Amino acid sequence: MQGTFLGLKYMSVAKRGRGGVIINLSSIFGIDHLFVSPVYSATKAFVLGLSRALGHQIYYEHSKVRVITLCPGATKTDLLSKEPFTKAVNDAYKPGLKEIAYEQVERSFLQS
């Protein structure tokens, strides 16, 4: 959020900047929630919502700064292997969530 506002501050033609593009990084889970990690989904949804709001035409017309968001899918890394993944999942609100979540990962398409 602070980086986006700094970008607008220094890039805006209304403040002697040259305009430009701010690219924020969210996740596919900002669009379609990841039930096993509600905080992650919430933060990614925040980034997407902020970017969509500040990317509105009314702001662009004033600043000549575009604000866009990339929302990549999950990437196959060691973090998604069983032990690290299930260690990161909290099943305090749903017993057995670790196994349910990992089954979903195994069925998911993961980009390389």
Task: Report, as residue numbers or ranges, the catalytic residues.
Answer: 40
Would you say 14 and 63 are in contact if contact means Cβ atoms under 8 Å apart? yes
Q: What is the DSSP string of 29-68?
A: GGTS--TT-HHHHHHHHHHHHHHHHHTSHHHHHHH-EEEE
For residue 82 the two structure tokens come to 């069983």
Q: Which residues, in sequence order, are CB contacts of 79 under 8 Å at separation 6+?
A: 85, 88
